[in-house]
Structure 1
Amino acid sequence: MTTTVLAAVRQFSQAKMGDDETGHGFDHIQRVVGLADRLVQAYPQADRVLTLTAAYLHDVIDEKLVTDTVAASDEVRQFLNQQGLTAEQVATVFLIMDNMSYHKTLDGTAKPLPLEGQIVQDADRLDAIGAIGIARAIYFGGHFGEKIYDPAVKPRTAMTHAEYRNLNHETIINHFYEKLLTLKDLMNTTAAKKLAEHRQQVMLDFLAEYKAEWNAEA
């Protein structure tokens, strides 16, 4: 795989994700790619171009973003074949895309990720936390009409996949406790774990300030 292939993958991803209005647009994709490229530098044994290819494509077949995941997968597979990827490389990209999502950890169906996939997963999770993560959580919740906060509604625990996807039972603030604050401890790589420490504190500070202002204490 070459940087020429990577340029085509970037263009394909931008065409698919450029109009997203849920916080998973091409700006998110570019940050994930940038973070993945930063993380992969510490692992010379990882295939950088394959890692970045998966990073560019990781949301293109996401069930929460596309109505027909089978058709979306077929289109991606055809595109990658046209770029000259081997069957093994295409299979690796799909292994990463199909098993890196958080919801896969809820039902225990996630298959082990190769190093390239662990890096992409870390990069995606890093973009879900910190200051960007706060903004994306509010943007996503607002897009789907979620309530911002209700102290009477407690965060859910031990959710199934179906419960996780049921936004009627979630508030934006509770999403931090149900998912975002758990991501720090789910990072795979040492570099990602270090970056997650600061971003975690940014979220904790935000939640403390939000609740203080909510209660007219600040």
Structure 2
Amino acid sequence: MRVRSQAVSIAKEEKADVKLCELAALLHDVSDEKFHFTQSAGKEYLNEWMVTQNIPSDIRNKLQQIIESVSFKGGNGKQTETLEAGVVQDADRLDAIGAVGIARCFMYAGFHRSPMHHPEQQPRYNLTEQEYRDNSASAVTHFYEKLLTVKDMMNTPTGRRRAEKRHKRLENFLDEFYSEWSGTS
């Protein structure tokens, strides 16, 4: 719902098709391979659902195109081809940074029993999708591998402006975190 709310808000500011952005945002993770045996099974599941909802084929095609361009996939996400795809991708990426992004990062690390911080661990860059999905990085390392890179990947002026604010929250958090970790504050 956070991605949906963000997409609707950005779509209004950017004069994009609000309803298309809203629906794509609501559906953007439904076909994700994390929830299906294969990527094609996820696409088939989503398409079958849209057919049962009587969504016209031209709208289904637009939704599929938007959804396919949203995922981060190790920083190797597809370039968006439409304003609506850019809006939904921005909304999804904004959800990964700022205060909510910090909370998500530590929840994910805890769930996967990854360390909070490993001072000697170096960030991994130019990751394959499989390397990105590997849970060996600490939560703090993930800031450098993904979270701190997001602001430079935004598509819309609204997304860029919002990402700048959230990026500053990440930087402020890390300053405080390192200060407390080292015992200097």
TM tier, shorter chain?
Answer: over 0.9
Hey, what does 1:207 align to over in structure 2? 174
Flag the 1:160–1:201 CA change in 2: closer, same or farther, 3 A: same
Q: Secondary structure at the match of 2:19?
A: helix
Contact 2:2 2:95 in 1 (8 A): yes
Hey, what does 2:27 align to over in structure 1? 57
Q: How many residues align?
A: 185
Contact 2:90 2:154 in 1 (8 A): yes
Which one-letter code corresponds to 1:174 in the other structure?
A: T
CA distance in 2, matches of 1:84, 1:60: 17
Q: Could you report, residue by residue, the CA deviation over 1:27-59 in whole angstroms, capped at 9, with x for unpaired residues?
A: xxx111111111011233x22211111100111
Pick aligned residue for 1:124 from 92, 111, 114: 92
Alignment of 1:69-218 (within 5 A): 69-103=39-73, 105-106=75-76, 110=78, 112-168=80-136, 170-218=137-185
Q: Could you report, residue by residue, the CA deviation over 1:132-171 in whole angstroms, capped at 9, with x for unpaired residues?
A: 0000000111111111111111111222222111112x11
Flag the 1:181–1:162 CA change in 2: closer, same or farther, 3 A: same
Flag the 1:205–1:111 CA change in 2: closer, same or farther, 3 A: closer
Q: Could you report, residue by residue, the CA deviation over 1:85-142 in whole angstroms, capped at 9, with x for unpaired residues?
A: 2222111111121221111743x7x253311111001001111100000000001111
Hey, what does 1:7 align to over in structure 2? none
Task: Identify the range of structure 1 (196-205 vs 110-119) with the bigger mean alpha-carbon deviation.
Answer: 110-119
Alignment of 1:32-51 (within 5 A): 32-44=3-15, 46-51=16-21
Q: Could you report, residue by residue, the CA deviation over 1:45-75 in whole angstroms, capped at 9, with x for unpaired residues?
A: x222111111001111212344444333222
Contact 1:36 1:55 in 2 (8 A): yes
5+ long unaligned stretches in structure 2: none
Could you list the structure 1 runs, at least 4 aligned residues long, displaced by more than 6 angstroms after superposition.
none
CA distance in 2, matches of 1:187, 1:111: 10
